[in-house]
Chain A
Amino acid sequence: EDQVTQSPEALRLQEGESSSLNCSYTVSGLRGLFWYRQDPGKGPEFLFTLYSAGEEKEKERLKATLTKKESFLHITAPKPEDSATYLCAVQDHTDKLIFGTGTRLQVFP
């Protein structure tokens, strides 16, 4: 069965304190791994797509990496505005997304 597990569930960081979020997955026929950001009361906002092991993508303070079993979202020198829930999802051969339950990130000044 396709499954996505994210850790930690919650993460509190001081502004400037770098860290990583983990996404472990099992899926038959991976078409892509997606990272989204979700703010309270809003829908998920697309961040990155990764298609194959070894691939990396960067955007501002965020960097996503992919292996055959997991993905990491690295946050470098975070700011309070990076506070949000970060969601990982895999797309299987049917095109639907299977989501993890997210990591709730809080960055304090």
Chain B
Amino acid sequence: SQTIHQWPATLVQPVGSPLSLECTVEGTSNPNLYWYRQAAGRGLQLLFYSIGIDQISSEVPQNLSASRPQDRQFILSSKKLLLSDSGFYLCAWSPPTSPRGTKNTEAFFGQGTRLTVV
């Protein structure tokens, strides 16, 4: 069966410090991978998504970046955190899009990382 691992669960970082959040998926190949951010009491904002290694689309211009060094590994990074980067970061995966684009299935989420920038 497929599993998704996201760590750490909580993180407190000072303003200006770097960030690296890691997400790995097991039990599937060539998944679509996603990073979302959820501010307190708010919706899910899509930050990055990836349909393959080194194929990453950025949805929101900001001081965050994402990398996919391996098929089932997705990393969210920042060189210098801002106070506004605080939030609940969620990694998710979904099965790969079919060649004809006719099959899209559900996303499975990691447990999330609660980031507080102080």
Partners in one complex: no
Q: Which residues of B contact A (CB under 8 A)?
A: none
